[in-house]
Amino acid sequence: MTFDPFGDFETKGYLRNAARAKDRDIVQRMEHSAFTTALDGAFADLAKRKTLTYDDVLATHKALFDAVYPWAGGDRLKHAPDLAISKGEVRFADPPEIRRSVEWALKRGQDPDVMTANPGTVMGYLAYGHPFLDGNGCTIMTLHSVLAQRAGFSIDWSATKKDAYLDALTKEIENPPKGYLDAYLKPFIGDPVSYEALAPTIVRAPGLDGSVQDVELNEVLGNTDEPVVKAQYEAMLTKRKHT
């Protein structure tokens, strides 16, 4: 099934990409090229920010993917305000809740003690927010790496395993904050490194390394106000503990 929230895949390609390509492998290569080209600049921009805000999240996505998507830097509340989105077993925040989830993560992530103790919890809330129609993994890993640096450590993402990481992340999103992702990331935590050294580590992370593979796409579950979709979302929220 094609992920087509704009409803114009046949005329404008996958998510209105700059080449109007319909082949997801082609778009994936475009995304990886844009990401690797813009990553150093994105780190440089974030390094200038004393406090990271939701606007910085939007700006980072735009910096990384502006060459691919004309809507880069715009979140799902702007471009798909009424759509419920999932990926595999994971149901993401409905559009009105995206900013709240991401800001929760940014607030905790900019407390060095919290970030050091619970980097997986912070990542889980960023991932649950899932602000964009595509490019979320690259964007939130970039931001998370900056939060880790500021807290005095780094994560060797290149040493993680895709399936194990995604399994821990799925559990983290569904049942926070139980420490699933904190436990998974613990063996990969080390001393902070320079921003110049961060970029190569991130681009080698499984799932972000540009290899053409069967990538699980986002899926539109329906409109957020549909009774069944709404009931499913409310049931999921009872498992989450927002503070």
Give pTM, 2 decimals.
Answer: 0.94
CB count in 10 Å sphere of residue 97: 17
| Model confidence band, residue 1 (pLDDT cutoffs 50, 70, 90) | low
From the DSSP assignment, how many helices (H) and strands (E) are in the chain? Answer: 12, 5
CA–centroid distance for 107 within its chain: 17
pLDDT range class, residue 131, cuts 50, 70, 90: very high
208 pLDDT tier (thresholds 50, 70, 90): confident
Residue 110 has pLDDT above 80, yes or no: yes
pLDDT at 214 over 90: no
Amino acid 100: pLDDT: 96
Q: Which residue type does 12 have?
A: K
What gap in Å lies between CA 142 and CA 61, rounded to an integer?
A: 10
Q: What is the 3-state secondary structure (H, E, C) of 97-122?
A: HHHHHHHHHHHHHCCHHHHHHCHHHH
**pLDDT band at residue 194, thresholds of 50, 70 and 90?**
confident
pLDDT (0 to 100) of residue 212:
57
CATH topology (fold) of 9-237: Fic-like fold (1.10.3290)
Give the span between the Cα atoms of 5 and 130, in whole angstroms. 15
Q: Which of 134, 126, 124, 141 shows the shortest CA–CA distance to 206? A: 141
- Which sign, positive or negative, has the C-alpha torsion 14, 19, 20, 21? negative
